[in-house]
Amino acid sequence: MSVGLLTLLGTLVAVAQETSVNRDIITDPNLSSRCKELMQDRNDKVKVRQRLTGLLERNQNLLKKTPEMKVTMKKRLESNQITLRNELYLATLQVQSLEESIIRSGCPGINL
User: Cα 68–69–74 angle (5° rounding)?
Assistant: 60
Q: For position 102, what pLDDT does the model report?
A: 86
Q: What pLDDT, in 10s, does the model give residues 13-64?
A: 555 555 544 444 445 566 678 888 888 999 999 999 999 999 999 999 999 9
Q: Distance between CA 88 and CA 48 in Å, rounded?
A: 8
CATH number of 29-105: 1.20.58
Give percent above pLDDT 90 in the chain.
51
Q: What pTM was estimated for this model as a whole?
A: 0.66
Q: What pLDDT, in 10s, does the model give residues 85-94?
A: 999 999 999 9
Indicate if the pLDDT at residue 11 is higher than 80.
no
Q: Name the band, by pLDDT with cuts 50, 70 and 90, for residue 107.
A: confident
Domain assignments of the chain as residue spans, ordered by start: 29-105
